[in-house]
Amino acid sequence: MSSPEADVLVIGAGVIGCTIAFELSSAGRRVRVLDGRSPGGGASQASAGVLAPYVEGHDSRPLRDLGRRSLALYESFLARVVAASGVEVAFRQAGTIETATSDADVARLARSKATADAEGVAAGWLDASAVRDAEPALGSHVAGGLHIGLHAAVDVPALTRAAALAAAAQGAEFRLAPVHGIAADGAGLAVTTADGVERAACVVLAAGAWSAGLAPAGAEPVPVRPVRGQLLRLIAAPGTMHRILWAPDVYLVPWADGTVFVGATSEDVGFEERTTAAGVAGLLARATALVPGLAAATFGEARVGLRPGSPDELPFVGASAALPGLVYACGHYRNGALLAPLTASLVAGLVAGTTDDPALAALAPSRAGRL
């Protein structure tokens, strides 16, 4: 017997697709998630989970505003996911220190501090001696750092798994099937997969770096491109560092058990989803320059994911003008984990016909043409 039709098909089982499936199923929608990989098998497993709008979004006011709003939702969103899934998800408001090694860095971070101050986010400048008091493991070349206590980190693979389990517990179905295309079908939409055709009134395109390849007839491809990120997992002595440490060419995300994630390369190599000797060597060199003691850490593994890059670094979240019933939720680039709770809530609203959230203006797919 075939399963009943879904109200909403979600294409993509990454952190965005799974959190959307969770919100939609929480709202009572019958959801089916389609992906050629198991939940979290793409970019999500290679994310270090940094939630830092005043590091990642320094130059973009809309990105900072969206990031701050999504970060404010995080703890209550996680509590709901954990309660519905029974899976614990590590989250830590560790704070970041963005380090300076040159006069140019100091000047740039002074501007970042002024921005944070103006937007009501506490940011403290630490001079060379204060930064070493805070993080004694830092290399002696570090001349200071900007501390932002608001910033946090989340275990993204665990969040993705938990959101998928929570959605499934609320009735969502997950189908392991590569998706080939989306098309109009009578009053609704049809999605062709390797296993056949699925139909629903609404389709959410959350296929990350693969979203451009799924443009329906009559719509331009959403301009999302793959940007490879290689990430290392090291195991250091617990307490080697306390906060997330950020430098222009590397960042370090420590957890209480001694795990340190070292991120990340940023490479335009198309859909080449593999780690490389040069990528790993470069990350190790930069990590040990920032924190020399990491040379003694155990090498855990190297991971790789394809970030869904967008031209203006903002995602596309909104209804399609070209194909009624299609909703975009892709192109989150470096901020998928950060923007997941807000994106999930916006998409649940869009599916219910709510289009008046002010955040949607900056995210409109129409900014990239007829989508």
Contact residues toward ligand GLY (CB under 6 A) are: 50, 56, 229, 263-264, 307, 334
DSSP letter (8 states) at residue 330: E
Minimum CB separation from ligand GLY for residue 264, in Å?
4
Nearer to ligand GLY, 309 or 318 (CB): 309
Q: With b meaning 16 or more CB within 10 Å and e meaning fewer, what string describes 179-201?
A: beebebeeebbbbbbeeeebebe
Neighbour order of strands in the sheet with 144-148:
124-127, 144-148, 96-100, 244-247, 250-254, 259-263, 225-235, 298-309
Instruction: Fill in the DSSP letter of residue 267.
Output: B
Instruction: Using the minimum distance from each CB to ligand GLY, give the nearer residue, 243 or 307.
Output: 307
Residue with smaller CB distance to ligand GLY, 150 or 351: 150
**205 contacts 351 by C-beta, under 8 angstroms:** no
Measured CA to CA, the distance from residue 5 to residue 237 in angstroms comes to 51
Residue 127 or 268: the one with the smaller Cβ distance to ligand GLY is 268
Task: Compute the distance between CA of residue 175 and CA of residue 318 in angstroms, rounded to an integer.
Answer: 24
* Smallest distance from ligand GLY to CB 247, Å: 13
Minimum distance, C-beta of residue 231 to ligand GLY, in the bound complex (Å) = 7
Q: Residue 264 or residue 346: which is nearer to ligand GLY going by CB?
A: 264
Whether the CB-CB separation of 316 and 214 falls below 8 Å is answered with no
Nearer to ligand GLY, 135 or 267 (CB): 267
Shortest distance in whole angstroms from residue 50 CB to ligand GLY: 5
Closest CB 96 distance from ligand GLY, rounded Å = 12
Is residue 313 within 8 Å of 333, Cβ to Cβ?
Answer: yes
CB of 52 to ligand GLY, least distance (A): 8
Cβ(231)–Cβ(287) below 8 Å? no
